[in-house]
Chain A
Amino acid sequence: MANLSKLPDELQLATAAHVKYIQSLDTRKDEYEYWLTEHLRLNGLYWGLTALHLLGQPDALPRAETIDFVLSCQHDNGGFGAAPGHDAHMLYTVSAVQILAMIDAFDDLEKRGKGKAAVGKFIADLQNRKTGTFAGDEWGEEDTRFLYGAFNALSLLDMVDLVDVDKAVDYIISCANFDGGYGLSPGSETHSGQIFTCLAALSIAGRMESVEVDKLGKWLSERQVAGGGLNGRPEKDEDVCYSWWVLSSLEMIGRTHWIDRDALIAFILRCQDPELGGIADRPGNMVDVWHTLFGITGLTLLGYPGLEPVNPVYCLPKSTTDRVLGSRT
């Protein structure tokens, strides 16, 4: 990190502006975009809250209201929708569990929500028992994103034994390609996002032995382009979100030192809006909470000073996973 001091002033993390930006997100009800994105609300809360925790401001959103909102999204079958009135889906159920884990509110789920058991059952019922993979909801779309989400949430709830882990692991292995990476289903092209989901799921299952570490590390390290940012696939443009998908994957296989940390830090910082807060996909573009989170997770994985450490498998503050998972053997 020696070179960090060489960064000009405008390339310092605008922490206060980012906190304000995230706090402002739920006050934009007079903007059309706010309503058009309601189908992402619970994800958005997870992205914003995680970013705030990593910025060292875990109390910047009110805890009681957060719990109330999360529980208001739950259905009788245990699953969560994006917001009240939206159907239950794996994507939001995982966000709900992550949020409740982060603010230590599993008790509220038990007392005021439908309970952990119902959540676990909702997720476990989405496993395709024949192939091992998971659907997002009852309409049946399957994707390794949902498999990872299931492992993430079930392990936080300590309910992984509800599903067939071996079958799921076999499925992930069947998504592997010659370059060491993974696609979204068997036969699909390697993609950084899917590499993250597959590696993280294997990591939760304790089954990393099948990973071709050097091949994958080479492929991942080639994602860094001349401007310092990372892309998601060969011959594509860089984007801040890959500061999470690629970097967390490198971290999981112990190859983070195969890219230029300082160049990536500078790229992420160039993507922030230092005045109004938030981080964009590329310098000069519109910010959003999704890129804000993945810019910050990238910075903390790279050891940028003043940030809380993140768990590369769960995309949660390390303090959260230590608390929730730490007591187990």
Chain B
Amino acid sequence: MASHGIARTIRTRTDEQREQDLDKIAKYRDLETQIRMRVKQGSNSDNDNGSYADPVLFQLTTKLLRLNPEYYTIWNVRRCCLTSGLLCRRSGGSSLSKASPSTSRSDTMRPSSGDCLPSSSDSTRPDRKSLRAGRDGKSGISADDGTGSHDTNTGRTQEAEATGADTQEEDDTEAIGKDTGLLQSELAFTIPLLLEFPKCYWIWNYRSWLLSEAISRLPSTIARQIWEAELALTAKMLAKDRRNFHAWSYRRHVVATLESPALNGSSMAETEFAYTTKMIGADLSNFSAWHHRSRLILRVLDEKDADDQARKAFLEEELALAREGLNVGPEDQSLWYYHQFLMSHLTEYSGRVTIAPALTVEERRAYVMKEIEEIKDLLEDYDDVKWIYQGLLDYTLALGSLGGEGKGNEAEGFKDDMQEWLAKLRKLDPMRNGRWDDVEKTLEGW
């Protein structure tokens, strides 16, 4: 319904085309009807596992989702198929392999999120406790599903206790293998869809859910392998579209989970920082990569136990990196925003954690002055780029708010410059004249 970037054409269909459309509609709706019928029939049947323990239903969702991956209700049906019998191991880790038929009747065992009742309007989905536990916990493991192998509500577990642990272990190995295979084939199923519809929220959500199922159902070493493969997928998606914010956001989620105790992880700040360096190297205008970098800096420094000297050096290197970029692309907003980010660590330091907290006010003033001088040098090559004048104005105003000795003299020295920069801004960027009017008022009181 929201079309992006599709050229407008006069749509007159021939009779034949219209017939073809009607045929497609009939097939699509038939598929939809079959799914709804099977969900409904199952819920009225004697099948203990409810309507979703139905391999035909699962296959029908495959067909429909390939036609329309935006159909969120069908993704939900598919999840229910998985949690109502296709996946053998219960979330929380123990094997359900032969006991699965009793799962949906057991009050203590629910799928890790959601209740798989038919979704028609005569049903409710009352119990959200298990979901909440999953979302609240850092690891994504849903705590109250973790009734573990001591759950005596299933015949399987009672049987295992009676026949000895060996059989259980064998069954469990088999179940782990089966579930791993199933989750991986599900992940593979979504890849062509994701490549075709990289901005479809529902596909990303489904993948994310599969990954959380891997954590709650599989041993952590196996789950970790699945999550590591996911990191490679985000890299692939970002190579295709460097700014895809679904993919960036998803990557942060994948990294945070790989770092977490649930996957026996440790910090990846350093490698992620290196990833941003690589992405920026390929495209200086990739603000998404600069943003990601900005969120990693403090962690990288902390983990290195960087002392004051190292922190200062780091800040200088980053400023130089941004400036080098500006020397070749002074109209690149991404670079300016990153430069502003770094400058904010010099000028807005009270009450927040900054890159180089030990700097004195005088040192801060000297750094800001140096940047102002460097930016002024850009004017020699580029006198018609509004971002340069904007930077000069902003940083000079920030200098004024820094305090410290010599403030008055500097301010006097800049007064004429600032009026000149503002006049340039009005000329080069008349679209934002309302803003320049407000800046002028600020300068009057400066």
Q: A125-151 CB contact bits vs B (8 Å, 1 = yes)?
A: 100111100010111111000000000
Interface residues of B in 120-137 (CB under 8 A from A): 120-126, 128, 131-132, 134-136
Report the minimum CB–CB distance from A190 to chain B (whole Å). 8
* Separation of A224 and B435 alpha carbons in the complex (Å): 13
Q: A153-192 CB contact bits vs B (8 Å, 1 = yes)?
A: 0000000000000000000000001110001110111110
Asked if B245 and A189 make an inter-chain contact with CB atoms under 8 angstroms apart, the answer reads yes
Asked if B131 and A140 make an inter-chain contact with CB atoms under 8 angstroms apart, the answer reads yes
Q: B339-355 CB contact bits vs A (8 Å, 1 = yes)?
A: 01100100000000000
Decide yes or no whether A40 CB sits under 8 A from chain B.
Answer: yes
Report the minimum CB–CB distance from A174 to chain B (whole Å). 12
Query: Given A75-B124, A235-B287 in contact, is the A35-B25 Cβ separation under 8 Å?
Result: yes
Chain B residue at minimal CB-CB distance from A188: B249
* Separation of A291 and B3 alpha carbons in the complex (Å): 8
Asked if B1 and A289 make an inter-chain contact with CB atoms under 8 angstroms apart, the answer reads yes
Query: Given A87-B119, A130-B136 in contact, is the A36-B70 Cβ separation under 8 Å?
Result: yes
Tell me which of B72-80, B101-109, B304-312, B377-385 binds A: B72-80
Report the minimum CB–CB distance from B301 to chain A (whole Å). 16
Report the minimum CB–CB distance from B361 to chain A (whole Å). 21
* Separation of A282 and B3 alpha carbons in the complex (Å): 10
Decide yes or no whether A81 CB sits under 8 A from chain B.
Answer: yes
Asked if A235 and B334 make an inter-chain contact with CB atoms under 8 angstroms apart, the answer reads yes
Hey, which chain B residues are within 8 Å of A76, CB to CB? Answer: 121-124
Asked if A260 and B432 make an inter-chain contact with CB atoms under 8 angstroms apart, the answer reads yes
* Separation of A37 and B125 alpha carbons in the complex (Å): 25
Asked if A139 and B76 make an inter-chain contact with CB atoms under 8 angstroms apart, the answer reads yes
Q: How many residue pairs at the A-B interface have CB separations less than 8 Å? A: 191
* Separation of A149 and B435 alpha carbons in the complex (Å): 31
Decide yes or no whether B4 CB sits under 8 A from chain A.
Answer: yes
Asked if B252 and A188 make an inter-chain contact with CB atoms under 8 angstroms apart, the answer reads yes
Give the most central of A131, A185, A239, A285: most B CB within 10 Å: A285
Asked if A257 and B434 make an inter-chain contact with CB atoms under 8 angstroms apart, the answer reads yes
Report the minimum CB–CB distance from B386 to chain A (whole Å). 10
Report the minimum CB–CB distance from A216 to chain B (whole Å). 12
Decide yes or no whether A284 CB sits under 8 A from chain B.
Answer: yes
Asked if B245 and A188 make an inter-chain contact with CB atoms under 8 angstroms apart, the answer reads yes
Report the minimum CB–CB distance from A73 to chain B (whole Å). 8
* Separation of A131 and B137 alpha carbons in the complex (Å): 11
Interface residues of B in 31-90 (CB under 8 A from A): 36, 67-68, 70-73, 76, 79
Asked if A128 and B135 make an inter-chain contact with CB atoms under 8 angstroms apart, the answer reads yes
* Separation of A259 and B433 alpha carbons in the complex (Å): 8
Asked if A39 and B432 make an inter-chain contact with CB atoms under 8 angstroms apart, the answer reads no
**Which of A131, A178, A285, A289 makes the CB contact (< 8 A) with B5?**
A285
Asked if A138 and B115 make an inter-chain contact with CB atoms under 8 angstroms apart, the answer reads yes
Q: B418-446 CB contact bits vs A (8 Å, 1 = yes)?
A: 00000000000011111101100000000
Hey, which chain B residues are within 8 Å of A130, CB to CB? Answer: 135-136
Report the minimum CB–CB distance from B416 to chain A (whole Å). 24
Tell me which of B16-24, B156-164, B183-191 binds A: B16-24
Hey, which chain A residues are within 8 Å of B337, CB to CB? Answer: 179, 234
* Separation of A232 and B21 alpha carbons in the complex (Å): 35
Give the most central of B36, B68, B125, B128: most A CB within 10 Å: B125
Asked if B135 and A40 make an inter-chain contact with CB atoms under 8 angstroms apart, the answer reads no
* Separation of A21 and B28 alpha carbons in the complex (Å): 26
* Separation of A222 and B21 alpha carbons in the complex (Å): 44
Given A39-B72, A76-B124, A286-B7, list of 5 further CB < 8 A pairs? A87-B119, A129-B136, A188-B252, A189-B291, A257-B435
